[in-house]
Each structure stands twice: as C-alpha cells, then as structure tokens.
Structure 1
C-alpha cells in the first residue's frame, strides 16, 4: 500500500490578535492547497474580550473569521468557556462551519453533552486511514459550575473514551487546552499518537516526544502556526514530526493593515453607539478604583472591599460613557468575588501585602484574567489600620476569631501572591465582568 503523508495545521491561543489573522489565513490556505492530505485545527482561546470587536459581538466575530480558515475542528479554552455567559456560550458557534470537540465539559443541571459540541470525531483520509480527534479543555472545578457547566476529570474522561475511540480509529489525536504539564502526564500514561497543546502558551518549535507521543504547540497570540507531518503505511504511523512557522516570516500584503484597522473600527463603533450614562466629570483611574470598591460593597452587600490600583488603566471622559470607554479602562476578564476571612487571616493578608508592596507596585503582569500593565498597590475601603498597626473593620477593632467578608476580584484568587486569599472560601460571580459591574454602578449613580 502506498505511503500517506498527512499534515495537521494548527493554531492556538489566538486571544483575538486579529493583527496576525490575514497572514495566518494566507498560510493556512496556501498549505491546505499544497498538501495532498491535510486537516486544520484550533486548540482554544481563539477569543479574548480585550478586543473591541470580540467584546461587541461576544466572540461571534471571531467565529465568522475562523469560518474562512477551513478548520476541520476546534476545541474551546477558558476564554470561551469562562468569559462568556452560559447563554452566550450556547450560541457562540451557531453559525460555525467547523465542528467543536469537547469531551470533558458537560451542561448542568443534567450533566449532558453540550448541543454545540461532540466529544470526538473520526476523520478519514483518501486512502481510508481513520483519525480520531478528541477535544478537551482545562477543567476549572471551582468556577465552571457557577456558569452552568460541569468539568470532568482528565484521567476519568480518557479512561472512559479512549477504548471506544481506539476501536474506531487507526490514529488518535488530542486537541488539548489543558497545558503542557497535563499533556506530558497524558503522554506518559495513555496511548495517544499526537497531542496539539495550548493554554500555557508554550511553543514547541520542533515538537516534543514523550513516551512515543508527539507533543506540538504554537505559542500564543497567533505569533506562530503549527504544522505536523505524519507518514503512514497500512494505516500505521512510521514517522511523525512537528514544526512551527513564525508569522513574522510571512510577507504582509497591501490591505492587511486596512483590514485590521477596519475590524478595530467596527468593534469600537458598535460599542460607542451604546450609552451607559453621562458622567458629570472626568474620572481618573484612582477615582475609578474607589468607585470600584463602592460598587463591590454594594453588589455583595458587605462593608469592606479590596482592589489593586493597576486594575484601572485609563481615564473615563466627562460626558457620555460608553462600553468602549469602560473596556479601555478595564480590559480584563475579571469577575467580582467575595471572600470570608477570620480576623487572624485578615492580619495575615495585611502582612503578605506589606512584604510585597514595593515589588508588586510596578510589577508587569499578564494572565489570570488581567489585561492591564502593572499590578500596583492594594487599597481597602471599609478596612483601616492605625499608626500602631491595629486593624479596624467597618470602624470596629478586628477580633482574631471573628469572620469577616471582603468584596474583591477573583484575580487575587489566581495570582500566586497572597496565600491567605488562595486558601480562603470565596464566592465568585462569573456572570458579570468588572467593567459590567462598573457600568451598572455608574448607570445607577448618574441616572
């Protein structure tokens, strides 16, 4: 039987970096035509609500662009599953011309497979080789249920599905928005031929072999495109390799800039047409910070709040306030959270903040939903400390054994700065972002 040469073209963690999309699209189209046998995949976090067009369309604009790329299948990342409401997620792919594969996230209350996704699919080459494509995403157990989704354990999912998949296929491929450490764990423990990875933004320029499994990943933000080659005889792989193509090596063409500018302009136009309220004066980031703490206290009906100064990055202009203005100042995918601490733990938190104050004040930061520049200083409203170090909560002296609630943001749960917060019981409101909370606050305040 003749040898088959099969290519997998793949992208991951684009995060709405539309500035790279024209060149990505040309590369994909070129090699889809050049290769006799190829399939194309995306491995999640294609959207990011930092982008005005994504924000205005809740990701549907991204799907429209992806429709032109010839994807055979995609999986989702946390920027799809956790940053969109349940309803928006249920309709994100209504007009997609590609399949969504997701084996480890079920819809509550009955824990059923989402209607917009299948756990896996079988692709068949021209010579009859069956390739199983399985999709999985990072199972955030603490947060997904609040949005009406039930994540499943990675090992339990694979133990359940792999025997079924292996019976139907010659080659098994995983689209993994799970992160490199989990991909390595899977490769060591399961018989999977290829894992296309994402989530941790790792770049494997020549791939990586772990226990015979080929791991591949194309970094982040569309800066690279992945190209995997399989050589197959009698439906069995006898050679496999991976490489990545830096997008900067792909020539720009006339009109690329105008196209990217138009996408930005359309998103901005859609957001600026909506009026939140009218501000009687310009609000600096510092003023927004204290408004933010007031909004959090009101939202959770608690006497105290905490936010870092880096959370607000731009002025809100006097006059008409639009969702675009709020996006510019609060571009994060960050949600309100209330935490419960003992008086002793509040004291510990203050010590953790004091120890890191100077380091965090100018610390550049990325990830955990944050889309600003630096972390900044922690500020409190409703909690004070006198010159003797005594802490007061809502005007009363802190009691070490008493329980206290502090309204804040889920970002501080995920960053590795404050062990006290990481260990604290919390309630996260995933159905509303910080800028949406602030829109509601200003709408009520200045109606």
Structure 2
C-alpha cells in the first residue's frame, strides 16, 4: 500500500495588493520547502489597474512577482480578461513560469484556444497519483465578445471536459473564478473532488463540503492564503480538508516596506513619464465631471451624456498632466458606454435617480469597476428636467415612443440602482478606460505646450 499527503496552496483575488505580497511569498516558499508534495495555484484577479505598477506595465509587473513563488498553474479573472485590451491580454503571460489553465474562453475570429492558455493539466505526483486540473472564469457574455473573446458556458464546458479528466486522473481539481453560488451548483451537479474558488471574494476558513466536493477559497486582497490537504492511499483520495492562514499571522521582514514602496514608486515613475497635456490652471473634481460629459459626447458623437461626480477623486493641478495624475483622480476600471432609451424609459430613469440621489450622493461603495470613495451626484449634458417635471433632450421635449442616445459609463449597467439602464440596449467600449478617454480629451484641448 502506498500513502501520500498532497498539499494544494492557493491565492485568489489579490487585485494588485502588493502590500501583502512579501509575507505571502515567504509563507508559500517556506511551505513548498517543508511539504513533501505540494502544488500552488492562483484563482484569478491577480491584477488590478488601480495599482500604478499594474497600470504602467499592463500587468507584467504582477507576473514578475508571481514568478517568484513558482505557481504550478493559475486561471484568469475578469480583471485580467476584461480590463486589459486584447493585445495586452495576449502578452500578459509571455514571461510567466507557470501554466494558465482556462477551458471556457476562445479567441475570435477562429474561436480557438488563446495561445497563452491550456484547457487542462495533469500532474503526476512522486508516487504516481495523477491530478487533473482545469480552470473556468466567469463567462461575461455581454462584454467579452467586444474584446475579441468568446466565453463558453460553464456547464457545457464541464460536460465536455470532466469525463476525459476523470478517465485520465485519480483526482480532479477545478480552479474556479466563477463565484461561490456557481461553485455550490457545480458541487451539487458534478463529480469534482476539489473546487478552489474566487470572484465573489468569499472566505471559507475551513472549506465547505457540497455533496462530496470540497470547496475552498481565501478571501480577497491577499488577506488569507489557502492550504488544502489531500490524503491519498493507492492513488485513491480518502480524505480532504482545507484551512486558511491570515496574512497578519505571517512573519514580517525589515525589507518588506522597501519592496512594497518600491513597486508603487516604480509604477508612479513609469506613469509620470507619460505626459498627456500642459494644464493652464487647476481643474477641480467638479469641473472634471463636466469635461468628462463633453468627452463622452464627442467620443460617441451624440448630443447628450450623463455620469456621476464620484468618478473623480483628486484635483488635476496646473502644469504637466501625466498618466499618473489621471490614475489618481480616475482609478476605476470603467469604460464608456452608449445607451439607447425611449422617452418613457428616460422619464423612468429620472424618477429612479431622483428617488435615490440624496443617499447616493454620500454612498460609500466599491466594486463593478468603481475604485473611488462615494457615488456622488448624477450630472447631465444635453438633457434637462424642468420644474414642471418635463424632460428636454437637446432643447426639445421628449416623446414617449421616440428613442434617444445617451453617452455614459458601463458602471451604471452593472450596479443595482437603475433597472432602466440594466435593461437598456447598450454599446460598451471595453478597449478604453475613463481615464484614457480623458487623457485624449485633455491632450486635444490643451496640447503639450
């Protein structure tokens, strides 16, 4: 009889929180040295363009850090697949020393697997146990195609791949950037031994069993690291457990601050070297919102626009405007969007905004691409509401059945405050972020001299 203990260590949803990375790196490397048999995985959203180094290097700086801990495989999250332009995504893993496992994303126009990913990986332990591993990411059907990617349904992918992995492997592991509800569904429906999860930032301190499938997840921002223990006898999995270790319990080093500060400083310097315009005066956050309304109208060539003031965090100071100042003021992963509403829908939208504006003005929020402080006030250009409640579009009273185009941001499509926008026909420009749009606007308006 042969017995072995296998450890699966994992991180997820780091979102470029490098402040935790030195301790995580030491922890993982020490575990790798001490365990007889171990493998290390990341479950996506390792990058976040809120971080200057990530933004300046389009994620290449993150890969440099990840290489140091010798991941055996990773999968991607929406912050890789949807926040990076297509070409940058194709280059992200050029220098990675680990495999990227992704089974449910194809590349247009041929609908082939991306060159940087594998459908699955089978690892053979020292004693001959075969571990089949595959990765799935959240299939955003409305957005991935506009970036040149075709998502494939989760169940369709598992139905096709799992029988093969079951035949070829003793143990099957899923790296899932799908979220806890989907992981629970998969556990109920499929014979998968372990699902290591992410996306919804859930923490399963001791794992969760769902119909014989062990679910594991390590929170967000590197605040925990996961460790799954598999007990195997004659290549048969006989027991599985999961624990997580809080990062604050990991050892610190005198050099940690220098590493963390150095990564931020390097990113800042790279972005400061990218000059955008020469501002003749300070531009406050409120003025930036009106500039952005004009920029959105120009970009889509439509007469009306709307956005919220919370999109702008810092004043832009007189003098040289760089990509770093724009990141500081507009740190969001948010894109321009053109929506089409009928007059009746536009009236309903104004009602939705009016009922919620008082509490939205100071609502602290995160997520759906937003990296600011509060939602703020909704601003409009080209649309006005009179004291009698009548709405005018480009100076003319709207008609209930007439359609109207409004330039705005995709953030409002994903948050739950405006059902009219959630149901609206939209066109999202995922290849450009709000701050990149504003860089073009200010460059054209003020120039470099």
- TM-score tier, shorter chain, comes to over 0.9
Per the alignment, residue 45 of structure 2 pairs with 45
Per the alignment, residue 98 of structure 1 pairs with 98
Per the alignment, residue 197 of structure 1 pairs with 197
- Aligned equivalents of 1:108, 1:181: Cα separation in 2: 29
Query: Equivalent residue of 1:69, what SS?
Result: coil
Per the alignment, residue 340 of structure 2 pairs with 340
- Aligned equivalents of 2:117, 2:317: Cα separation in 1: 42
Per the alignment, residue 222 of structure 2 pairs with 222
Alignment gaps of 5+ in structure 2: none
Query: Equivalent residue of 2:68, what SS?
Result: helix
Instruction: Map 1:31-70; keep pairs closer than 5 Å.
Output: 31-70=31-70
1:291-345 alpha-carbon deviations (Å, 9 max, x no partner): 0000000000000000001000000111100000000000000000000000000
- Aligned equivalents of 1:349, 1:380: Cα separation in 2: 12
- Aligned equivalents of 1:362, 1:389: Cα separation in 2: 25
- Aligned equivalents of 1:322, 1:108: Cα separation in 2: 34
Cα drift, residue 251 of structure 1 = 2.1
Cα drift, residue 361 of structure 1 = 1.0
Cα drift, residue 110 of structure 1 = 1.2
CA RMSD in angstroms, aligned pairs only: 0.5
Query: Equivalent residue of 2:275, what SS?
Result: coil
Instruction: Map 1:86-235; keep pairs closer than 5 Å.
Output: 86-235=86-235
Cα drift, residue 80 of structure 1 = 0.2
- Aligned equivalents of 1:354, 1:268: Cα separation in 2: 39
Q: Would you identify which runs of 4 or more consecutive aligned residues in structure 1 move more than 4 Å?
A: none
Cα drift, residue 33 of structure 1 = 0.6
Per the alignment, residue 277 of structure 2 pairs with 277
Per the alignment, residue 263 of structure 1 pairs with 263
Alignment gaps of 5+ in structure 1: none
Cα drift, residue 9 of structure 1 = 0.4
Instruction: Map 1:425-440; keep pairs closer than 5 Å.
Output: 425-440=425-440
- Aligned equivalents of 2:374, 2:244: Cα separation in 1: 31
Instruction: Map 1:23-38; keep pairs closer than 5 Å.
Output: 23-38=23-38
Cα drift, residue 2 of structure 1 = 2.5
- Aligned equivalents of 2:445, 2:359: Cα separation in 1: 35
Query: Equivalent residue of 1:156, what SS?
Result: helix
Cα drift, residue 377 of structure 1 = 1.1
Instruction: Map 1:301-340; keep pairs closer than 5 Å.
Output: 301-340=301-340
- Aligned equivalents of 2:274, 2:107: Cα separation in 1: 32
Q: TM-score scaled by structure 1? A: 1.00
Does residue 406 of structure 2 align to residue 418 of structure 1?
no
Per the alignment, residue 364 of structure 1 pairs with 364
1:275-298 alpha-carbon deviations (Å, 9 max, x no partner): 101011111010000000000000
Give the aligned length.
Answer: 447
Q: TM-score scaled by structure 2? A: 0.99
Cα drift, residue 359 of structure 1 = 1.6
Cα drift, residue 252 of structure 1 = 1.3
Query: Equivalent residue of 1:195, what SS?
Result: strand
Cα drift, residue 409 of structure 1 = 0.2
Cα drift, residue 165 of structure 1 = 1.1
Does residue 241 of structure 2 align to residue 241 of structure 1?
yes
1:101-146 alpha-carbon deviations (Å, 9 max, x no partner): 0000000011100110001100111100000010110000000000
Does residue 31 of structure 2 align to residue 13 of structure 1?
no
